[in-house]
Structure 1
Amino acid sequence: MSPIRLREGFKDQILYVIPRPILEGLKANPLLHQLLPTDIGWYPRARYHYCERKDGAEEHILILCMEGEGWFEINGRRRPVHQHEALIIPRREPHIYGTYEHNPWSIHWVHFTGASSDYFAYLLPPDVYTLAIAPETIKTVTALFEECYRSFLGSFVLQQMISTAQTLHHLLGTLFFNNRAFSPMLRTSQFHSIRETLEYLRQNLDRRLALDDMAAHAHLSKSHFLRLFKEQTGYSPIDYFINLKMQHACMLLSLTHQTIREISLAVGYEDQYYFSRIFKKVVGVSPSQYRETPETNHLKYYL
């Protein structure tokens, strides 16, 4: 390890920190109570970069390695951080991290807190702190970091801070849920993805597809297909398909003047009374009651 250690001070770096008294005032806003970025930066070619926090940080830390490589140490174990990997360090977790002198990293980083921040920080399995990022996701999260920098400059203004927080929420959501290198539903290299099956179901809402039909479309045995589908969505294939149909039925009830009979046929049920029973079981009210409910109450139903 190089005897030279720098916490910051890199050429062309970006570093924005919200003064803590201002931060305390911002936390009272309900939109910032959920997720609040507190510090953010860009350290390009950060040779000799090194940071040690014996008691951890009060916020969760996200570091995105764009080029070069670095390392981190938690619980006495040192591990690498490669190009196009993200490092998540939970709050109050003692840690050390830095870069290699021969191939210094360039990193985007952000500290964040809030009621929903723990959810993102602990999405990784225990004792796992890094995740790979797919090339197309790299482009998206880079653009989102750059958007954060632009709005963070005036982050002491409430509207600016809300905008930055919402952008960060999008960034974290993209990293964990729209990243085929990590997100189970989007992976293709390590195991079979069901994305094509989900599109197949969306295009066939007017049909009564059985498990055999779905498994055949995925070119998998029923047992293998059932296991993968539940693993990647949290639903059985049939339950997912029924919920998808009811979600579409809700839209038709809200936005069209089609009769309940017509809507029943549109989602694959010839017997409108059977459709109504399924609809009430899933949504909680009958189709006619749903149609009569004020529009704002329709938001109670989610797939």
Structure 2
Amino acid sequence: MNYYRFSINDIVIFMVGGVFTAQKGWKHNPRYHQGDYELIICTKGPLFITVGDQDYRLASNELLLVPPYALMKGSQPSPNDIEFYWLHFILPKDTQLVKNIDPVELSGDDAGASRLLIPEKIRMANLDQLLILSHQLLNTDIQNPYDRKTANYLATMMLLEISKLTLSQLTTDRTSEAERISRVKEWIRTNLYRSPSVLDMANEVQLNPQYFSRLFKRITGIPPKKYLLQLKLQTAQALLIRTSLSIKEISDNAYFENEKLFMRQFKQFTGVTPSEYRAQFDQIYHNNQVISPTLPIPEAITKHLKDVPDFGRAPKD
């Protein structure tokens, strides 16, 4: 998805606009945009439009922003009667194009109050406010200097409405994706015993594996494979400190493939061997043997815990 953004303090310059209706079978004639943008608000569709080499299908309640210096043409006849509003305007000089980016990857700065963010295409649940502004705009006499100023403000207000909806949707997307990652982290914890792959994790939250990996790292700061390894190593650390199990037994019960792999990865992660780690913490935790219930310790191992009469609870006096 491409987005256009500019300062919230700038004013849009309105040029010309109107409402267009046509019967079934209509196809947009080729038109080259010079230095102006065109906002198409589809109220009855679908419309089939090509901008440059990108094809768009606009259904009712969908908006398309056509950039300057682009050839726009119909790609195929509309199967139904159509209606759309068309508005031409010039955006401020500081307008930036943000190309080919996932909405959740937009920086928090974009969600602030300093800039408007306009997507090239968006669907709106309700067009009422935009259509009211459109009618006010189209009924303004732009030959009058005062009304010309009013038209510019009305066009700016329309883009403010679109930006507000866009940012609201981005916030919702970020919250939804964060909840997905939180859910999959819990799923990984409960399925650690089978060493799930990235594909398994992505399938659990119904996301493309590549997108899932990027999203997981963006939200947690580490890739999913590293998170899985860290969880295994944390489980091993707890078992080293609070049990007398052998290194091989700990390797098995922390769900590592083999003992050698466990020892190598443990030292890379902690800087010491499992035995050295156990020796360092043996005295520190002698009187505090409760393992965090959030770690996926195998049930069969809890009986090996030292000085814990009731797993997960402090000893009673």
TM-score for both structures, normalised by structure 1: 0.44
Bigger-Rg structure (1/2): 2
TM-score for both structures, normalised by structure 2: 0.42
